[in-house]
Structure 1
C-alpha cells in the first residue's frame, strides 16, 4: 500500500520533469557535464515551485485587470521597477530559484522522450540468455563448499551460551550439524545485448573550437542515452585530419590539432573496424 508521501513525491518528480523538459535545450548544451557518468547527480536550477493556494494580489490591487492595456504591457506592480546596477541593495523580494538533483540517466530518459527516440532492437547474442548465480541469503542445508563459517560459528556460540556450556576462560566453540549455515543462491537470467558506438571527429584546422565543442557535447549525450539501453556498450573513437587513427576516450575529447582534412579516411577506418570486429547480424552499430 503506497503512502500519501509517496504519491506526493511522485507528483513532485513529474512536475520537475515537466520543468526540465521546458528548458531541456539549455541543460544538455552545458559542456561541463562531459565526463560524468549515468548515476552522477546534476544540479538543475528551476523556478520556485510553490504549493497551490489562494493569494492576494500585489499591493492589494483589486479587480480582475488593470484597465484596457496593450499587448506586451507588464502585469502587476508599478512601472519603473527595474533592476539596479548592483552597487546598492534593493528593497523588494528577489527571484527565487530552486535547485533539484537529477541523475544523468534521468536527463537522458527525458531527452529520449522529448525527441521520441525509438526503443533499441536487440540483435545477435541478445537471443541468448546468460544465466548468472547470485548469493541471496543463508540456509541450513547445502554443500560444504558453500558453508558460511562466520554464521556457523555464531550459531554454535549462541547455542553454547544458551545451554551454559561456554566458558570465557576456555573459549572453545564446537559447531554441531544443526549449527551449520550455508550460502543460498539464485540463478538469474540476463539477455546479452551487443552494441558499439564508433565516434568520428575532424580535428583539422578547418574545425573551430566551437564546432569541436558541439561534436563533443553531441557525442557525450549519445553515449549517455545508449548506456541506458545496453549494459555492455562498447565505444571506439576515431579522429582524423588528412589521416584517420583510433584513439582512447581522453584523447578524443581533449585533442587539439591542425592541418588538412580528408573525411574519407575516417569512413574507411570505421568500415574496417566493423568488418573485423562487429558483424552486422550480431551487433547494433552506431557510427557518428
Structure 2
C-alpha cells in the first residue's frame, strides 16, 4: 500500500510540474507565486482535477421547449432563473476550483531553466567557498539528553518488550530502559557558503508607478530563484534612488514612493561603494540589476557612465538594465546606455519591459548569457 501511495504521489507531482511548465509564462506575468512564498517552498495555484463521472439529468421534468410558458419567462424548474445567473443564492457546487500545491524553489528553478533554455552559470573567481558544518544525519546509543530521539527510543523499547513477551496489548505500557535510549548524532560535512551576491537598483521617483514596481518585483523573484539554484544561496542588496540613493530593505525597495528629479549616478555610486567595502569581487560572484523608466537628468549621464565603466562593469559577472515602460517616463536612458557601451562589455545586458507579458523574455535575455 505504501509503495502505491508513493507512486501516486510521484505521478501527481509530475502532473503538477507539467501544469507549471505548460503555463510558466502565465505564472511569471501574473506574479501569483510571490505572495505564497516562504523560505523554501512556494504554493502554486493549479486547476483541480476531478475524476470523470456521470452527471444525471432531471428525467424529463421540464426544460427548454417543454411545458407551458409565456414570452420572457426564465427557463428552469418552476420558472426560476438558471443557476449561475442573477437571483437568489444557490446550493449547488461551482466549477473551476483551484488547488494550491507546494513546490520547492529548486523545482521551480529547474522548470524555469528548461523552459527558457537557460545555460548553467559558469562562476568566476573564488566560486567554491565551503565551510565545515555539523549535520545531524545519524543515530547512536549514547549522547546528551537534549539530543535524545524520543520516537526511536520508544520504538526500540516496544520491539524489546514484544520480543521478550512482556508487552500486554490489553494494557499497553512501554517503559524504555537504558539500553533502549537512542540519540541523534552528527557528521561533519562541507557545505557551500553563499558566494553570489545580487544588487538591485530601482528609480523610485514619481514617474515609477506601483504597476512598474510590481513588474520589477516579479522579475526579481524569478532572478533570485534561478541564481539561488545555481549557487545554493545568494546575498542581496537593495538600492533606491531619485536624485539621491540609499540602501534599504526588501519591503522598502518595493513600496517606497518618492518625488523629485532623477540622478542615476547616485545609484551607481552607492553600488560601487558596496562592491568596494562589503562584497569584494575577488571573493564574490556579483550580479547587478538596474530598473528604471528611462528618465535621467541630462547632465548626469556622463557622470553615471563614468562610474559604471570604471567601478562596476569590470568587476561583476553580469550587469543588467531593465527599462520598465511608464506613462510618465521619457525612456531615453536605454538608448544613451547602448549608444555609449554598445558591444564593448559582454557583461552588460539590456532589455525593455513594456508590461508584465514582457517579463518572460527579459528574464531569458538577462540569464541566458550563462555568466
- State the TM-score bracket (shorter-chain normalisation): 0.5 to 0.7
Inter-CA distance 94–185: structure 2 relative to 1 (3 Å threshold): closer
Tell me by how many angstroms 1:11 deviates.
Answer: 2.3
Tell me by how many angstroms 1:235 deviates.
Answer: 0.6
Q: CA RMSD in A?
A: 4.0
TM-score (norm 1): 0.64
Range with bigger deviation, 195-204 or 257-266: 257-266
- Listed as ranges, the gaps of 5+ residues in structure 2 are 58-81, 158-177, 290-371
Inter-CA distance 43–265: structure 2 relative to 1 (3 Å threshold): same
- 1:26-105 aligned at under 5 Å gives the runs 26-28=26-28, 29-30=30-31, 33-34=34-35, 36-46=37-47, 48=49, 50=51, 85-87=85-87, 95-103=95-103, 105=105
SS at match of 1:239: strand
Hey, what does 1:214 align to over in structure 2?
A: 215
Contact 1:123 1:194 in 2 (8 A): no
**Separation in 1 of the partners of 2:22 and 2:184?**
50
TM-score (norm 2): 0.52
Tell me by how many angstroms 1:259 deviates.
Answer: 1.4
Q: 1:179-212: CA deviations, max 9, x gaps?
A: 9998753221223340111011110022122112
- Listed as ranges, the gaps of 5+ residues in structure 1 are 59-81, 141-146, 159-175
Hey, what does 2:280 align to over in structure 1?
A: 279
Range with bigger deviation, 202-211 or 270-279: 270-279
SS at match of 1:45: strand
Inter-CA distance 95–36: structure 2 relative to 1 (3 Å threshold): closer
Hey, what does 1:148 align to over in structure 2?
A: 144
Larger relative contact order (CA 8 Å, sep ≥ 6): 1
SS at match of 1:280: coil
Hey, what does 1:138 align to over in structure 2?
A: 140
Hey, what does 2:234 align to over in structure 1?
A: 233
Equivalenced residue count is 233
Contact 1:193 1:232 in 2 (8 A): yes
Q: 1:51-94: CA deviations, max 9, x gaps?
A: 7x9x99x9xxxxxxxxxxxxxxxxxxxxxxx9964436799996
**Separation in 2 of the partners of 1:218 and 1:35?**
16
Q: 1:16-68: CA deviations, max 9, x gaps?
A: 211122222332323672483243441413152547x9x99x9xxxxxxxxxx
Inter-CA distance 191–32: structure 2 relative to 1 (3 Å threshold): closer
SS at match of 1:206: coil
Contact 1:196 1:285 in 2 (8 A): yes
**Separation in 1 of the partners of 2:99 and 2:181?**
52
Hey, what does 1:256 align to over in structure 2?
A: 257
